[in-house]
Amino acid sequence: MTGQEDEVRDVVVVGGGAAGLSAGLMLARARRRVTVVDAGAPRNAPADGVHALLGLDGVSPAELLARGRAEVTGYGGEIIAGEVGDVSAAPGGFIVTMTNGDGLHARRLLIATGLVDELPDIPGLRERWGREVVHCPYCHGWEVRDRLIGVLATGPMSVHQALLFRQWTGSLRYFSNGLEPGADDQAKLAALGIPVVAGRVERLEGGDEHALGVRLADGRVAEVDVVAVASRMAARAGAFSGIGIETAEHLMGSFIAADQTGRTAVPGVWVAGNATDLSAQVSAAAADGARVGAQINADLVAEDTGRAVARLATARCEPSGGGQRPTR
């Protein structure tokens, strides 16, 4: 451990994405001693740009985060590059232990670690993720408009995904991948002119300078321009198990439950962004971070005020210099 463990911060924010930096900015502007720990592995790193972010549509993920870090440190906040390995309870708060052994002592903890996209084990998907393989029509729909999109079924939300992408293109194929849609879903797909390609998908091939092909287990190859696939989204929560943080299951993955203010079931621990809202885009995650940051500051104000009231009451009850208690 380093001497940093003896320096008590008001808040340690774990995660330096849109939610974490936005919370850090709010807390730094509130004159709190705040440290944002950033592992440097943003979910949207493969994407060319961040979209539907008012005033910054199309900005690269790297530039957005660089601007955010500069704003946080400009108000006196601290950014530490590193990965959190463990969190434990400590007097008055928590000890956040980094994988390099360094420790940070915090009165409050904000989890803003985001999520991990778990993709089907199909060769060719992961390496094309964020480019020729996409997931969210609101993030990528405009960029792939009017192209031939192949929706790869992974679960019960895949038909819904196909219906959404149909808004951006009239050329769509639904690859059932062994998960044949029910009668109601088949009727919806048929009504919108979306053909169902039966059979399991074996791999993706081609792409870049060549046509992107979806190879089926029976040897057929269907050409598409883009593949849309719904990932299983899992909150990054492993480092917080020691203080009782658990994930809850959702149709789309796992998340950390919280109340409307961002409080988790563990006192003193808050959560913001994709770790608690799997569907939040960058704009929503940033707004959530700002909102939760303000809530944490209000909680600290209440605690600080309570301590001041207790000190004043103690001072009034202490004996005066002459040995007499002050009259009440």
Q: Give CA–CA dist 19/285, Å, rounded.
A: 5
- The pLDDT value recorded for residue 211 is 82
pLDDT (tens digit per residue) in 106-131? 999 999 999 999 999 999 999 999 88
| 127 domain-assigned | yes
Asked if 150 and 209 sit in the same domain, the reply is yes
- Residue 148 in contact with residue 212, Cβ under 8 Å? no
Asked if 86 and 130 sit in the same domain, the reply is no
Give the CATH number for residue 217: 3.50.50.60
- The pLDDT value recorded for residue 47 is 86
Q: Give CA–CA dist 154/201, Å, rounded.
A: 11
Whole-model pTM: value is 0.92
Distances (CA, A) of 95 to 162, 202, 253, 265, 288: 45, 46, 28, 18, 24
- Place 48 in a pLDDT band, splitting at 50, 70 and 90: confident
Average pLDDT over residues 267-290: 97
Residue closest to 19 by CA, chosen among 318, 236, 168: 236
Domain final residue, candidates 172, 206, 229: 229
Q: Does residue 325 register a pLDDT over 90?
A: no
| 327 domain-assigned | no
Asked if 10 and 84 sit in the same domain, the reply is yes
pLDDT (tens digit per residue) in 73-82? 999 999 999 9
- The pLDDT value recorded for residue 328 is 40
Q: Does residue 209 register a pLDDT over 80?
A: no
Which residues, other chains included, contact 38 with Cβ-Cβ below 8 Å and sequence gap of 6+? 15, 16, 20, 69, 79, 80, 81, 82
- Angle at 160 (CA atoms; ends 271, 176), nearest 5 degrees: 115
- Place 327 in a pLDDT band, splitting at 50, 70 and 90: very low
Q: Give CA–CA dist 235/117, Å, rounded.
A: 9
Q: Does residue 84 register a pLDDT over 60?
A: yes
| 320 domain-assigned | no
Asked if 8 and 109 sit in the same domain, the reply is yes
Asked if 147 and 177 sit in the same domain, the reply is yes
Asked if 106 and 243 sit in the same domain, the reply is yes
Domains held by the chain: number: 2
Q: Which of 150-154, 207-211, 318-322: highest mean pLDDT?
A: 150-154
- The pLDDT value recorded for residue 4 is 60
> Could you tell me how many residues make up the chain?
328
Q: Give CA–CA dist 176/255, Å, rounded.
A: 27
Asked if 223 and 274 sit in the same domain, the reply is no
- What is the residue range of 190's domain? 120-229
Using DSSP's 3-state secondary structure scheme, residue 298 falls into: helix
Asked if 133 and 219 sit in the same domain, the reply is yes
